Every structure is written in C-alpha cells, then in structure tokens.
Amino acid sequence: MKTVFSILLLIFVVTPLTVGQNDDARLNRVNEDNQRTGKWEIFYDTGELKETGTYVNGQRNGLWKTYYKSGTLKHEITYNNGIAKGPARFYYRDGSLWEEGYWNENHWQGEYSLYHANGKKFYEWHYNDSGRREGEQKYYHANGKLKYTGTWEDGNIAGELRIYNEKGQLTEKRKYAEGSFKESNKITTRPQNAQENPDKKIPPFYGTGNYTLQSLDGRVIKEGYFRDGILQDGKHFIYNEKDSLIEVRTVENGEYTAQ
C-alpha cells in the first residue's frame, strides 16, 4: 500500500487546486506574505467539495480530508509543516474503511490494518521505524477467520508461516529463512467420529512436488511426490479407529501397487 499512498501524495503536489467561491470570510484566506493560512476548502472543477484542512504559513498542517465527487470521505491524512506525518485513513467509495495506520513521510510505521469491503479486517501488520514489516503479521479471510500468521524480520518473513482455511483449521506450515521458502508441511483433518461426515474427504494438498502430509496430531498420512495434489510416487499410511498404523500402501505412477 506504500506505492498507492505515495502516488496520492504526488498528485496533491502536481495537480492544480480549484478554490471555489465561499461567502465565509474565515475560509480560504492568505496572510500578508500571500501564503495560505487558516481553514481552506478546495473543490473539483465541477464544483463538488474535494478537500478541507488547515494551512499554516502556506503549509498543510493537521488533519486534511479528501472526498469522492459523491461527497463520501475518501481519505484522511495528517500533516506536519507540509509533510504527511501522522494517523492516516483511506476509505472505499461506499464510505467503509479500507486501510489505516501511521504514515511517516514516505512509509507506514507501527500498527497497520487493511480491511475487506465487508468491513472485516484483511491485514494486521506491524512496521518498524524504517517502514519494514517486523514482528507477527496476520492475514484474515473475508469471513473474519485467520488466514495466515507468521513473523517478519526487517521486511522479510522468517521462520514458520501457518496457513488456515476459511473454517479456521490449520492446513499448512511453511518454513522460510531470510525471506526464502524452504519447505512445506501440509496438514489434513478427518471427522472426529464415524457419525460426522464419514465420507467427506478434505484434499490436503493441491500442488506439485515432494511433500509429507500430516494430521493435526502429527501422524504421517502420505509422503512422496505429488502432482496437482495427487500422490504419484510414495507411501500412504493407513490407521485404524484407535490411530494405530495398520498398513502402508505403496504408490507408483499414481497407482497403488499390488501387496
């Protein structure tokens, strides 16, 4: 989101401002040095209110609000002597919150949140003083359930990234080092008892490569080479209702071999 914000700030600098007619003598004033001062209202060429905020000696200061032509609030940015520095919020066209955080001149700093269009949180990130992601970072599904969570160090993912489905179930653990992907461990679930969806199958993996699939309690379910989520060469471990291993089936070229 840094790029989007930076482009918006550039537009503020290079786009000519339209000052509408206003009968309030307290608005749109200039000082003896012909510098803008006090409360200002700026309008689109078509007459709709575009921005409101305060100038001090020709520099933007405090909270500035920008509106869509419909009149809905577009964003709120805090300025300090003409520099965007402070709390900032951006909104969807329907007025619901899109993103918020603390903007420090040219990057986000501290806590940052991005929201789905339905109002539920999408990202929950933390930036260090240099504008790089640091510490625990969270992503959420549109239904509010956690989607990803992991730790970042100086802008790079480090250690383990945990992935959840829309029901909140852990489905995968990915390991990273210095921002680079190392390995993945897929996790599959099964019904708690025979009466609960006994025929339901949850595909544990849809990719291609060598993987070890494990249940939530750590039991190996399948291991070997997969193509599009289907075991091509490897082993399938079969357990009884007491979770005791009772059989190991061998898969070659996508088919079980005769025992």
Please tell me what DSSP assigns to residue 17. Answer: P
Q: What is the pLDDT of residue 177?
A: 85
| pTM listed for this prediction | 0.64
Which DSSP string do the residues of 195-225 spell out, in sequence order? TS-TT-------S-EEEEEEETTS-EEEEEE
pLDDT, greater one: 175 or 5 = 175
Least confident interval from 162-171, 198-207, 220-229: 198-207
pLDDT, greater one: 211 or 165 = 165
By the 8 A CB rule, do 121 and 144 touch? yes
Residue found under tokens 């000696």 = 57
Pairwise CA distance, residues 126 & 144, whole Å? 19
Length in residues, the chain: 259
Q: What is the pLDDT of residue 165?
A: 92
**What mean pLDDT is predicted for residues 208-223?**
78
**What mean pLDDT is predicted for residues 4-17?**
50
Q: What is the pLDDT of residue 209?
A: 73
Number of neighbouring beta carbons within 10 Å of residue 127 = 23
Q: Is the dihedral of CA 41, 103, 1, 88 positive or negative?
A: negative
201 pLDDT more than 60: no
Burial label, 40 (beta-carbon count in 10 A; 0-12, 13-18, 19+): buried
How many CA atoms lie within 13 Å of 157's alpha carbon, on the beta-carbon side?
16
